[in-house]
Structure 1
């Protein structure tokens, strides 16, 4: 969502900290990143070790979440 907020909505604020704990081998993550880079959805920034959403990736996110999204979200069955 931070990538969505910063890139899709046009904000250029830097990412301060985004840590995701994944329970899978590092090689699986590297392979997934390579695929995302190959299809031009993200770029890998080796200096700071993070992924950046490309303009193409941002456009796809924009289309999916803004153009194809339902006008309203369904109400939850219960509120915790």
Structure 2
């Protein structure tokens, strides 16, 4: 019985010391309009809404054919 209590205590200590109290890293991002070069797209109207971010898109962006992974059209906004 004493061995079980010691084992459980040791296991509890190991679990507590292995926990990390780190905050989740926040990344800065901005909404853009992109499309594959072979299939250009045009945004007529739309919104991208997140917890702490809002961006509206309209026909002002024109036709996008920059390719996936490239920076597309974006508007300057305070983040």
Shared fold, TM over 0.5: no
The structure with the greater share of residues assigned to helix is: 1
Question: What TM-score, normalized by structure 2, do the two folds share?
Answer: 0.22
TM-score, structure 1 as length reference = 0.22
